[in-house]
A and B are shown apart, each in its own frame.
Chain A
Amino acid sequence: MRPAVRVEHIAKSFGSVRAVTDVSFEVFPGEIFGLLGPNGAGKTTSIRMMLDIFRSDAGCIEILGGALDPARRDRIGYLPEERGLYKDQRLEPTLVYLAGLKGMAERVAREGLRGWLERLDLWEHRHRKIQELSRGMQQKAQLIAALLHEPDLLVVDEPFSGLDPLNTRLVKEIIEEQAKAGRAVIMSTHQMYQVEALCGRIALIDEGRTVLYGQVREIKREFSGNALSVQGEGDFAGIPGVLEVRREDDRWRLALETGADPQMVLRRMIERSVVIESFELAEPSLDDIFVAVVQEGQGARSGLAQAEGRLVAKVQDGGQPGRG
């Protein structure tokens, strides 16, 4: 199957700041693809390059089978992380105008709009100014702006932020429907349980690079053994090899560093007189994997920086690198 989006080794700098160093991924029609990463990792810049808002400094981007020309641009729906509609304008004409910019005739846009407004409980509010709507309503209105022209590629950045559980469920349904209808959906979010529930494949970006990419199922399998489920009492936080500790009901969930040996971690617990009632390997959640990969990256960078600092200090002191 031909990918709806193909991003290969893209890079972008703003002045001296390197926002994206090397990001690659593919997204196929009919799938919901998760684009993950910590704040400032380069996700939004990558999305903006993909949508031709920014020109990439390097790499190659193909959208819906080619370079992003005006016709392909019209086939994209985008819900940016930084929401924004004309606050002093009324809801209905604003959405019709935005659909017009996507090539929709006004009459067709008005016809299609009714269904969306009714489904998202905004029909009664169509004549109100956007600034008079609640945050959640504005969020739904913006989602309509991304969907009204029936795009073949839908890019949604933090689609659930600001929504109550009912509306979260509704938006989730809509995203799933879009994928079932054969559209490619790219979803960027920090809500890992939503990614686990919706996405078949993910790319994790950290420090401007794709550090993890593939099927969620396979990634989890790869990282199995990197999480422990422990019942007991004591201080689990300072144990070597443990990245993160969190309480889950009556158990502790421990995220381990990549390559950490669970048996070694168990021995360290016993050495520390931690009371252990039960100890088992847990399938890592995406959250665990996210934390493991990102913290390891930070650790590696911090270690590298410390090593560089020592090296610089030695050189400044007239010492020889590599000694002591």
Chain B
Amino acid sequence: MRAPRSVLVARNEMVTTLARRSFWVMALLFPAIIIAFSLGSQLIVQRTTGNSGLPEPGTPQSTAPVGYVDQAGLLVEQPRGLPAGFLLSFPDEVQAGEALAAGRIARYYLLPPGALETGGIVRVETDFRPLSSMDVDSLMRYAVAFNLFQNQDRALAYVEPSRTVQLRALAGEESSSEPIPDQGPLGFLVPFAVVFIMFFVITTTGGFMLQSVAREKENRTAEVLLVSIRPRELMLGKLLGLTVVALVQLAFWVGATTLALGRAREIFGAVLHVQIGPASFVWALFYFLLGYLLYASALGALGALAPGSREAGQFTMVVLLPLLAPLMLNAALAEAPNGTASIIMSLFPLTAPVAMVARLAVVPVPWWQALVGLAGLAATAYLLVMLSARFFRADTLLSGAGLSWARLRGAVRRVPT
């Protein structure tokens, strides 16, 4: 039994796109850049900071211990919450110096007599590390505060007074009662990475659809195809084939970004809170597929109407404009993923593929919101595919007429035949 024509078109699109060097450059070059960037920055940070500051209570020790010489008598008790053997006491600077020289400790602190009154503590390291003052001293601040307060929570509050900040808008109650875990100064990374990946994978793979249609027009292959296949079968086949291509590209980008985020967590000691569990992953996948379908069909219609890819390129930005909104309003998604702006963007069908997935990655999203957003997106994608099918007609595919708003309007109004 012969395969349906759409399946043959899908297979051809998939094979030819995956065989193209430009696809692999796009699929691999960007992940290579972000991995190189993250590894490079890791090296730089390690060279300049040595190790991190205050480890999260309960986290396993992954860095070299830190020593101290307490001449002020401040550190009577080892502070709780630190990994065992992480903070080592030395009776004098000679022994501490020997341990540092032998590499048994990353650095040591000298608390001179009267340190509490003067506030002067000395940090001794082997190399000059200009960036090491970023947060490494928080460890010693915590150790001193713990001994002063004799209380772990108060000591942590002293070191970081605003560990959890919850936004309460005067205009109304926040939709989520759950506190948003603070992700530190690098907390914007996860939503930004998600927004970035979703935006670029949808736009590049949607762009493949445009290129594919425009190429058939430019090559004048369309007429040969239209004797064998209906324009809509052709469109469906292209959408199907390029869906596989989109998933391959997504896999590469997500893999590289996950790796890079893991590195970032190691480098900066940041508690990058990533929410992607199996359920969120499935939601995200549906959002991506529908988002791809929506924009690919719109770009395909553009390719069908335009006389060539160059002319279509002039209108591409107009089609992709809504998808840019979450990229530009990324701060809102990072700072208040359950805030009003984020919710609106994640429910509005044209921005939902990016905004909702960014939210799903960092906070628990109420299931009804995920469902409403998906239903709206599915309905819009369906309407847009149907609308785009109107543009996939022999007379548009064989036409070399220029693209204009008047022509677009005419094509939208035309009754399909």
Asked if A and B bind, the verdict is yes
B window 223-245: CB within 8 A of A:
223-229
Which of B3, B216, B394 is A48 in contact with, Cβ under 8 Å? Answer: B394
Residues in A whose Cβ lies below 8 Å from that of B9: 101
Residues in B whose Cβ lies below 8 Å from that of A87: 219
Complex Cα distance A89/B216, Å? 12
A219 proximal to B (CB < 8 A): no
Q: Of residues B215, B222, B227, which shows the largest number of chain A Cβ atoms within 10 Å of its Cβ? A: B227
Which of B12, B16, B228, B398 is A73 in contact with, Cβ under 8 Å? Answer: B228
Smallest CB separation, B409 vs chain A (Å):
14
The interface bits of chain B over 290-317 (1 if a CB of A lies within 8 angstroms of the residue's CB, else 0) are: 0000000000000000000000000000
Which of B5, B16, B228, B395 is A89 in contact with, Cβ under 8 Å? Answer: B16
A269 proximal to B (CB < 8 A): no
* B224 lies within 8 A of A80 (CB): yes
Residues in B whose Cβ lies below 8 Å from that of A4: none
* B224 lies within 8 A of A98 (CB): yes
Which of B20, B224, B227 is A142 in contact with, Cβ under 8 Å? Answer: B224
A105 proximal to B (CB < 8 A): yes
Smallest CB separation, A175 vs chain B (Å):
18
Which of B16, B20, B220, B227 is A83 in contact with, Cβ under 8 Å? Answer: B220
Residues in B whose Cβ lies below 8 Å from that of A82: 220, 223
Smallest CB separation, A81 vs chain B (Å):
9
Residues in A whose Cβ lies below 8 Å from that of B2: 103, 105
Residues in B whose Cβ lies below 8 Å from that of A103: 2
Q: A53-B394, A103-B2 are in contact. Are A80 and B16 (CB under 8 A)?
A: no
Residues in A whose Cβ lies below 8 Å from that of B398: 48, 53
Complex Cα distance A112/B207, Å? 36
* A84 lies within 8 A of B417 (CB): no
Q: A48-B394, A54-B394, A101-B5 are in contact. Are A84 and B222 (CB under 8 A)?
A: yes
Complex Cα distance A54/B220, Å? 16
The interface bits of chain B over 194-225 (1 if a CB of A lies within 8 angstroms of the residue's CB, else 0) are: 00000000000000000000011001111111
Residues in A whose Cβ lies below 8 Å from that of B3: 100
* B224 lies within 8 A of A84 (CB): yes
Q: Of residues B215, B222, B228, B394, which shows the largest number of chain A Cβ atoms within 10 Å of its Cβ? A: B228
* B417 lies within 8 A of A101 (CB): no
B8 proximal to A (CB < 8 A): yes
Complex Cα distance A48/B227, Å? 9
Smallest CB separation, A15 vs chain B (Å):
9
Specify the chain A residue showing the minimal Cβ separation from B394.
A53
Chain B binding surface, main DSSP class: helix
A85 proximal to B (CB < 8 A): yes
Q: A54-B395, A101-B5 are in contact. Are A86 and B227 (CB under 8 A)?
A: no
The interface bits of chain A over 76-101 (1 if a CB of B lies within 8 angstroms of the residue's CB, else 0) are: 10101011111111000000011011
Q: Of residues A84, A98, A103, which shows the largest number of chain B Cβ atoms within 10 Å of its Cβ? A: A84
* B228 lies within 8 A of A86 (CB): no
Complex Cα distance A142/B219, Å? 12
Residues in A whose Cβ lies below 8 Å from that of B221: 84-86
Specify the chain B residue showing the minimal Cβ separation from A101.
B228
* B219 lies within 8 A of A86 (CB): yes
A201 proximal to B (CB < 8 A): no
* A101 lies within 8 A of B223 (CB): no
* B228 lies within 8 A of A53 (CB): no
Residues in B whose Cβ lies below 8 Å from that of A51: 227
Residues in B whose Cβ lies below 8 Å from that of A102: 228
In this complex, how many residues of chain A approach chain B with their Cβ under 8 Å: the count is: 28
Complex Cα distance A33/B370, Å? 63
Complex Cα distance A83/B20, Å? 23
A window 21-42: CB within 8 A of B:
none
* B16 lies within 8 A of A84 (CB): no
The interface bits of chain A over 130-168 (1 if a CB of B lies within 8 angstroms of the residue's CB, else 0) are: 000000000000100100000000000000000000000
Smallest CB separation, B217 vs chain A (Å):
9
* A98 lies within 8 A of B228 (CB): yes
Residues in A whose Cβ lies below 8 Å from that of B417: 55
Q: Of residues B9, B12, B216, B395, which shows the largest number of chain A Cβ atoms within 10 Å of its Cβ? A: B12
Residues in A whose Cβ lies below 8 Å from that of B226: 53
Which of A54, A89, A101 is B225 in contact with, Cβ under 8 Å? Answer: A101
Residues in B whose Cβ lies below 8 Å from that of A14: 395
The interface bits of chain A over 51-62 (1 if a CB of B lies within 8 angstroms of the residue's CB, else 0) are: 101110000000
Specify the chain A residue showing the minimal Cβ separation from B410.
A15
A74 proximal to B (CB < 8 A): yes
* A53 lies within 8 A of B224 (CB): no
Residues in A whose Cβ lies below 8 Å from that of B228: 73-74, 98, 101-102
Complex Cα distance A224/B16, Å? 57
Smallest CB separation, B162 vs chain A (Å):
57
Specify the chain B residue showing the minimal Cβ separation from A15.
B410
Specify the chain B residue showing the minimal Cβ separation from A81.
B223
Complex Cα distance A78/B226, Å? 10
Residues in A whose Cβ lies below 8 Å from that of B227: 51, 53, 73, 76, 78
* B219 lies within 8 A of A80 (CB): no
Smallest CB separation, B385 vs chain A (Å):
22
Smallest CB separation, A156 vs chain B (Å):
13
Complex Cα distance A310/B8, Å? 61
Complex Cα distance A54/B223, Å? 11
5 contacts between A and B (CB under 8 A): A48-B223, A53-B223, A84-B224, A101-B229, A103-B2
Besides A84-B222, A86-B16, A101-B228, 16 other CB < 8 A contacts?
A51-B227, A53-B398, A54-B394, A78-B223, A78-B224, A78-B227, A80-B220, A84-B221, A86-B216, A97-B12, A98-B224, A98-B225, A98-B228, A100-B8, A102-B228, A105-B2
- Interchain residue pairs A-B with the least CB separation, the first 10: A84-B220, A101-B228, A84-B221, A80-B223, A78-B227, A53-B394, A82-B220, A84-B219, A53-B226, A100-B8
